[in-house]
Amino acid sequence: MKTTGKKSFSIHFWKSISSLIFQILLISLFIQTPASSQIEGRKTIKIPDILGYQTLKCDFHIHTVFSDGEVWPHVRAEEIWLEGLDAFSITDHIEYLPHKSDLQIDFNRSFELAEQRARELDLIIIKGAEITREMPPGHFNSLFLTDVSALDQPEVAQAFEASVQQEAFIFWNHPGWRQPNEVPIWYDEHTQLYQQKIMQGIEVVNYKSYYPLAFQWALEKKLTIICNSDIHSPIQMAYDLAHGEHRPMTLVFSSERSAAGIKAALINRRTVAYFNDLLIGEEKYLKALFEASVTVLNPEITFSQAKWQPLFIKNNSEIPFKLVRLSEPEPPFQSPPELTLEPERTMRFPVEGKTDGLTGDKTLTLKYRVENLLIAPEQGLPVEFKIKAIFE
Amino acid sequence: MKTTGKKSFSIHFWKSISSLIFQILLISLFIQTPASSQIEGRKTIKIPDILGYQTLKCDFHIHTVFSDGEVWPHVRAEEIWLEGLDAFSITDHIEYLPHKSDLQIDFNRSFELAEQRARELDLIIIKGAEITREMPPGHFNSLFLTDVSALDQPEVAQAFEASVQQEAFIFWNHPGWRQPNEVPIWYDEHTQLYQQKIMQGIEVVNYKSYYPLAFQWALEKKLTIICNSDIHSPIQMAYDLAHGEHRPMTLVFSSERSAAGIKAALINRRTVAYFNDLLIGEEKYLKALFEASVTVLNPEITFSQAKWQPLFIKNNSEIPFKLVRLSEPEPPFQSPPELTLEPERTMRFPVEGKTDGLTGDKTLTLKYRVENLLIAPEQGLPVEFKIKAIFE
Amino acid sequence: MKTTGKKSFSIHFWKSISSLIFQILLISLFIQTPASSQIEGRKTIKIPDILGYQTLKCDFHIHTVFSDGEVWPHVRAEEIWLEGLDAFSITDHIEYLPHKSDLQIDFNRSFELAEQRARELDLIIIKGAEITREMPPGHFNSLFLTDVSALDQPEVAQAFEASVQQEAFIFWNHPGWRQPNEVPIWYDEHTQLYQQKIMQGIEVVNYKSYYPLAFQWALEKKLTIICNSDIHSPIQMAYDLAHGEHRPMTLVFSSERSAAGIKAALINRRTVAYFNDLLIGEEKYLKALFEASVTVLNPEITFSQAKWQPLFIKNNSEIPFKLVRLSEPEPPFQSPPELTLEPERTMRFPVEGKTDGLTGDKTLTLKYRVENLLIAPEQGLPVEFKIKAIFE
Amino acid sequence: MKTTGKKSFSIHFWKSISSLIFQILLISLFIQTPASSQIEGRKTIKIPDILGYQTLKCDFHIHTVFSDGEVWPHVRAEEIWLEGLDAFSITDHIEYLPHKSDLQIDFNRSFELAEQRARELDLIIIKGAEITREMPPGHFNSLFLTDVSALDQPEVAQAFEASVQQEAFIFWNHPGWRQPNEVPIWYDEHTQLYQQKIMQGIEVVNYKSYYPLAFQWALEKKLTIICNSDIHSPIQMAYDLAHGEHRPMTLVFSSERSAAGIKAALINRRTVAYFNDLLIGEEKYLKALFEASVTVLNPEITFSQAKWQPLFIKNNSEIPFKLVRLSEPEPPFQSPPELTLEPERTMRFPVEGKTDGLTGDKTLTLKYRVENLLIAPEQGLPVEFKIKAIFE
């Protein structure tokens, strides 16, 4: 129940010392053994703030044993803290309660049990629930609730109404789930929820699935882009955090670090989905994230002979950017067909400038597309670097 | 001389294809998305069988939400499977039930909920419970129970009696817990339990603590050596499995892979504690484990000039063995003061044999002590390698 | 120049001990510090022997400072040993010697300098060289030479002739190198070398490039499939060995662990290319490697209700096998569209058998294709698992 | 709720497409293969600037094939760049030249060959050499030379004189090397070199050895503290960079990022040794490094009930700080006996403040010693945190 600490503790110790002193020390050593069970600390998610907003890292879809999840609620606060997120919502199912023969069901209870730990850890916790119906309309999360039990209604319309009365923010969960080939279908019921402004957002990513069609709808219909883990198991059974994997999360660009700030940002669609190495969202946000993350260290390059010069690009974020050349630069320049900007690394790339007879300065414009920053389904963000090329 | 780069496979792909084909393919791609949530498979714990027994890897002290643990019971079966163990026991507290306002308490329920998953995964699950009293006598695990609820008694003596009636195997848990400086104290109550043969084993290791004094008692009093995780959280919040850490476990030398085999082995004290890189137990078992793991690849070495020759030693196990020289070999030989045998690696060490005027064969005996195989408190296992040295 | 060892050595030690004893111990401790510079041991490459042959792991294309490489020759032996390979050939360029103003050029010297270390480490070293000409015919490696300097000739034909006189085994290196889009071109010169049986093999993989067309030629023209690193830098600047990456290597199925055995195997085309997670070669070898690596642990499955049963498949090798379903099994069965067999893991997959009214046994045949075992360009190895399904 | 699995992207792809399109695409894919050989980028060493100086990371003791090293000189520049250092010196031996039968010896050549790459990579390269004599006086590095060959002299005194004439900075290398038990001995020769101000610094760390006595001498005699790799092999054969190990380096507190700035800092002893997790140096520098790295996130803590409150401490550096409590805080407070501040993590620790009858504010002073910041041999840096405790 307690810890000893370093593994190799005893090893060196025992070597060369006489037995008597040994025993004395042995006792004094073990006397020192401190109590602790925390094995590691809170990570910092390295994604910059942009456009005057704080970039809050949020997961709005999480389960516990109070519906069909596998952990006690306060574990969810611990996980969120360790992984470096700012805000989360436990959204246990209203209508699906497989543990109800073991657990007294109180729809507000999982929030209560997680809330104290969340406060202690300075995390934002948002009361929520998952309305869980057959498709259509399927599953929806209601956030910013005050009383979850009011959503326990015979008819789905009543559940939505109870949500609206509590001024909830409501989004459609995993729209492709159990649809043929996981392709989402937009039913009349969704048109109705959309036109009544009940449904304000849509999960473009849920757990390990990305729905390009949901992304397209989000852009066309101005729905808020949402990206969640929908985690049921302990988080580390689903994501290899120790090797740098992260849960899917919604980046929320908020004017303050608070639930109110998040709610305002969600309503105003200031979000980006962060899924594996993909960022999915509107061009203005992806462009700002890229520019705040990436720096050309040598924006002036001198070409004195007909050869390659190195271009140094630093990526301060934890996201690897994968750039593909959109077009060859104009003569006399050549640049690589691909640039991969590893996270928290400075990369070096060869740039050619043929110097035959040239003198003076020229502007070299490098045009690339960032393949993993999606501004539309499978459409990468275009970016440019402008280099001052000096010929001697 | 050039790169393809498996990872960037898709990236290249999108580059050169016309938009139309692209869209068609895109759809077909996402159509294929299969359902799955399992992220990795079952590890094999690389520790050899010895002395005609199977070496079963067991954890006999585990909690769930049904006492003060943090996960639903079937999660424990999943964890045990992934980590490569053979057997486990869920041992929720009888007397400490912090979730009882939320959970209907049935003392047999956590076993029931884990049992089906355990069978499906071909794991041995043993019904158990933790008798949880103030010190003395402290906490005890009863294993191989048939009805846990019979242990819910006002007096601790009654709980032991109910265990004995069910022919349980009973051991003392974390004997140093909450004692001054974590040093265990043997009270009269323990003498009584010991003399009545109620207490048959003792945890020499619990969670992150090793109790040298408990080990000494186990050797002197012929108590079974036990090593458990006492895990409350999801396992990966306590152990960094992804980087090769493992939970504390009891190695049980069993004539068959069954609960009955384990029970017989426990009664006959055929166990070793496996904690971090330490093996703790009787010399006969540690010696057998070492010899079944380690091979000298070149037991004949030819010294033709006055110089070092390499000695190659292979370690097939997952345990790093840390050897310290007990004494210098006899002239004309010299050997390194330390040998570290990395897990699943062949190591090379320099051995010197001065050849001045020598011819013929000589036996080189290397005497070391394995610092992390403890045959008594802080006493490493002595080992010898015999090398045939040939002088030319 | 010497080592102290464990980092945390001092930390715990200093804590609670009086200054006097401390100083005494301090001295005795530092006295123990051993000398060593080797940081890790030799890995075992986990790929099974097949068809009565030993599977030798070989790299036949390696450079040193004696042509345009970056390390002293004996480093190559150390690298090969650490990585677990059995055999290698240093193949410095004959015609390209950028360090010749610093180094006295002796074409046999890099072999000499590596040979002693190779013997000490029980590695097979094969004398070789790279004939380095403009395309056509390009670059060729000659192996099993006795005198490299005889290949230093004005005309490429003379270099080939000198090789043939030494009974060399000759293969075409990186056939796509510097060709448009890296696609190899077969010139008349190659036809001539092929018809004269001078060219007996071809690099299907070189460094980070795989040439599908070269693979197709190898199959059609019965050329030996070769896969090499062509390493110039220290190996760990090119491959992340610490995270499990490996250099490209040729698996040679040899009747003995010797240069002669390798030569016979090369002549008889008993090879497979091992590149990242890909195995590339003839179906008979890939099938044997798969079958020697993979085991179904439960070849009999009982379906007692209409639900999924787990299928357990163990992969003993270090290669992850990626299987895609070729066709759905016959009713009443269903199996997953994909199976990924992680290296050295047991995986679990759901198999469905609808039991409506069924009793007795049925054979369930699972038909998959192993996507990363290529028996022809981009054609995976077909495999079948036969399961006895028992309905109760 | 479903998976896509980035990795298996290509796999899915091939499944559903007709063979014809497949072949066409296949060709286009392989056509795209780009050229690249750089596998990763430059790391940033996360150690803060202090006291108005830049913290430059330097290695002043490095070998190449031009003495007894194993790599070509430009490799050293590549290694330094990847690892994130700012400055290095190649210091090949003057008197020990094992490759001289193969290499034309020119003492300035290894610098020349590394210099171009160093400039290209924006690294500071300092011309140096190792005077290599029997003990006493042993080995010495001369830095900031203009002509290394002038040091090639019959007598060691002449070599020193040639160094002094070039205004070199000279330090004693690995003073414990080949001394009994690696304990350095200060000979008359050293007194002489010291009194003549020829020897200005001393290696407190060399390769894998730390010499506490050399550290003591440095403090007492005001010699500059130096810490170097003395690397002979490729760097990754000695240090597991991929898992976060780093070479020993000297942290130089310099007013500018230049060779001149480094020289001034060395002369003025503005250095700290950085070896594994140890920082070794004068208290003023270690204190500044600690304070610039570590922040208490909640310097005000409210105790409203008699229980533990969390203290959050953030470590922005890459160095794990290991703190041991110097004394218990005054009543009513208790704090943990140890605090480990993991690199780039926020840690949480329990702090107890018994609230019986207390109101108002109190100052809680936490007194610890940082075990791995050595301000004298085996003496950790004392640090204090002041917390405002508010009782309600």
The DSSP secondary structure of B261-293, one letter per residue, reads: HHHHHHHTT-EEEEETTEEEE-HHHHHHHHHHH
Contact B13 D36 (CB under 8 A): no
Distance CA C121, CA C119 (A): 5
- Write out pLDDT tens, residues A291-338: 999 999 999 999 887 578 999 999 999 999 999 999 999 988 999 999
Helix (H, G, I), strand (E, B) or coil at B126: strand
CA distance A143 to chain D (A): 19
Site from D81, D182, D368 to mutate, C interface, most C CB atoms within 10 angstroms: D182
- Write out pLDDT tens, residues B230-239: 999 999 999 9
CA distance D63 to chain B (A): 24
Q: Are residues B58 and B182 in the same domain?
A: yes
Residue C42 predicted with pLDDT over 60: yes
Question: What token pair was written down for D19?
Answer: 């063979």
Contact B40 C337 (CB under 8 A): no
- Closest-CA residue in chain A for D313? A41
Q: Prior bond to A137 cis, omega within 30?
A: yes
Contact B32 D15 (CB under 8 A): yes
- Closest-CA residue in chain A for B61? A1
Site from A11, A239, A323, A372 to mutate, B interface, most B CB atoms within 10 angstroms: A11
Of A4, A71, A378, the CB nearest to B71: A71
Residue D76 predicted with pLDDT over 50: yes
The answer to whether A181 touches B31, Cβ cutoff 8 Å, is yes
Look at residue C3 and tell me if it is in a domain. no
* Model pLDDT, residue B22: 37
Of A102, A113, A183, the CB nearest to B31: A183
Question: What token pair was written down for C185?
Answer: 């071109």
Q: How many domains does chain D have?
A: 2
Helix (H, G, I), strand (E, B) or coil at A65: coil
Q: Are residues B237 and B321 in the same domain?
A: no
Q: Are residues D312 and D241 in the same domain?
A: no
* Model pLDDT, residue B359: 83
Look at residue D20 and tell me if it is in a domain. no
Model confidence at D54, in pLDDT bands (50, 70, 90)?
very high
Interface of C with B (CB under 8 A): 5, 32, 34, 36, 38, 40-44, 120-122, 174, 176-177, 182, 206-210, 230, 276-277, 298, 310, 312, 336-338, 341-342, 344-348
Q: Are residues D307 and D272 in the same domain?
A: no
Contact A31 C15 (CB under 8 A): no
* Model pLDDT, residue A306: 58
The mean pLDDT of B89-105, rounded to a whole number, is 96
Look at residue D5 and tell me if it is in a domain. no
The mean pLDDT of D200-221, rounded to a whole number, is 98
Helix (H, G, I), strand (E, B) or coil at A177: coil
Q: Are residues C275 and C373 in the same domain?
A: no
| Interstrand relation of D124-132 and D139-143 (parallel, antiparallel or unpaired) | antiparallel
- Write out pLDDT tens, residues C140-159: 999 999 999 999 999 999 99
Distance CA A355, CA A359 (A): 8
- Closest-CA residue in chain C for B301? C120
What CATH number has the domain bearing residue D359?
2.60.40.10
Higher pLDDT, C14 or A202: A202
Distance CA C212, CA B127 (A): 57
- Closest-CA residue in chain B for D14? B29
Q: Are residues B268 and B305 in the same domain?
A: no
Question: What token pair was written down for B243?
Answer: 């980087």
Work out the burial of residue B243: count CB atoms within 10 Å of its CB; fewer than 13 is exposed, 13-18 middle, 19 or more buried.
exposed
Of B2, B41, B310, the CB nearest to C208: B2
Distance CA D97, CA A156 (A): 85
Model confidence at D306, in pLDDT bands (50, 70, 90)?
low
Of C5, C6, C16, the CB nearest to A32: C16
Q: Among residues C258, C281, C304, which one ends one of the domains?
A: C281
- B12 interaction partners in chain D (CB closer than 8 Å): 29, 32-33
* Model pLDDT, residue A359: 83
Interface of A with C (CB under 8 A): 5-6, 8-9, 11-13, 15-17, 21, 25, 28-29, 31-32
Of chain C, the percentage scoring pLDDT greater than 70 comes to 90
Question: What token pair was written down for C106?
Answer: 């002796």
- C205 interaction partners in chain D (CB closer than 8 Å): none
The mean pLDDT of D296-306, rounded to a whole number, is 88
Distance CA A117, CA D372 (A): 32
* ipTM for the complex shown: 0.89
**Which amino acid, residue C100?**
K
- Closest-CA residue in chain D for A227? D1
Look at residue B240 and tell me if it is in a domain. yes
- Per mean pLDDT, which range of B326-330, C205-209, C304-308, C381-385 is the poorest? C304-308
Q: Are residues B119 and B238 in the same domain?
A: yes
- Per mean pLDDT, which range of A356-360, A379-383, C175-179 is the poorest? A356-360
Q: Which residues make Cβ contacts (< 8 Å) with residue D258, sequence separation at least 6?
A: D124
Question: What token pair was written down for D336?
Answer: 């943990």
- Write out pLDDT tens, residues B256-300: 999 999 999 999 999 999 999 999 999 999 999 999 999 999 999
Cβ neighbours of D338 (radius 10 Å): 22
Question: What token pair was written down for D99?
Answer: 């490759």
Of B12, B29, B37, the CB nearest to D29: B12
Contact B347 C312 (CB under 8 A): no
The mean pLDDT of A140-159, rounded to a whole number, is 98
Of chain A, the percentage scoring pLDDT greater than 70 comes to 90
Residue C380 predicted with pLDDT over 70: yes
Q: Which residues form the domain of D46?
A: 37-281
Chains that touch D (3 or more CB pairs under 8 A): A, B, C
**Which amino acid, residue C390?**
I
Contact C34 B344 (CB under 8 A): no
Q: Are residues C199 and C320 in the same domain?
A: no
- Write out pLDDT tens, residues A337-376: 999 999 999 999 999 987 777 788 999 999 999 999 999 9
Q: Are residues C170 and C305 in the same domain?
A: no
- Per mean pLDDT, which range of A223-237, B336-350, C193-207, D35-49 is the poorest? D35-49
The answer to whether A345 touches D42, Cβ cutoff 8 Å, is yes
* Model pLDDT, residue C162: 98
Q: Among residues B233, B254, B281, which one ends one of the domains?
A: B281
Phi-psi region of C182 (alpha: psi -120 to 50; beta: other; left: phi over 0): left
* Model pLDDT, residue D39: 52
Contact D380 C14 (CB under 8 A): yes
Q: Are residues B179 and B318 in the same domain?
A: no
CA distance A144 to chain B (A): 24
- Per mean pLDDT, which range of B89-103, D78-92, D350-364 is the poorest? D350-364
Residue D34 predicted with pLDDT over 50: no
Which residue bears the tokens 């403890």?
Answer: B374
The mean pLDDT of A18-29, rounded to a whole number, is 36
Chains that touch B (3 or more CB pairs under 8 A): A, C, D
Look at residue B99 and tell me if it is in a domain. yes
Of A32, A41, A276, the CB nearest to D347: A41
Q: Which of B236, D13, D1 is nearest to A248 (CA)?
A: D1
Residue C12 predicted with pLDDT over 70: no
**Which amino acid, residue B318?**
E
Contact C16 A31 (CB under 8 A): yes
Phi, psi values for residue B18, rounded to 5°: -70, 155
Higher pLDDT, A142 or B16: A142
Residue C304 predicted with pLDDT over 90: no
| Interstrand relation of C124-132 and D2-3 (parallel, antiparallel or unpaired) | unpaired
The mean pLDDT of C275-291, rounded to a whole number, is 98
* Model pLDDT, residue B306: 58
Contact B42 C121 (CB under 8 A): no
Q: Are residues D139 and D97 in the same domain?
A: yes
Look at residue A17 and tell me if it is in a domain. no
Which residue bears the tokens 């817990």?
Answer: B177
Higher pLDDT, A359 or D300: D300
Look at residue C4 and tell me if it is in a domain. no
Look at residue B268 and tell me if it is in a domain. yes
Contact C37 D207 (CB under 8 A): yes
What CATH number has the domain bearing residue A127?
3.20.20.140
Q: Among residues A281, A314, A342, which one ends one of the domains?
A: A281
Q: Are residues C98 and C193 in the same domain?
A: yes
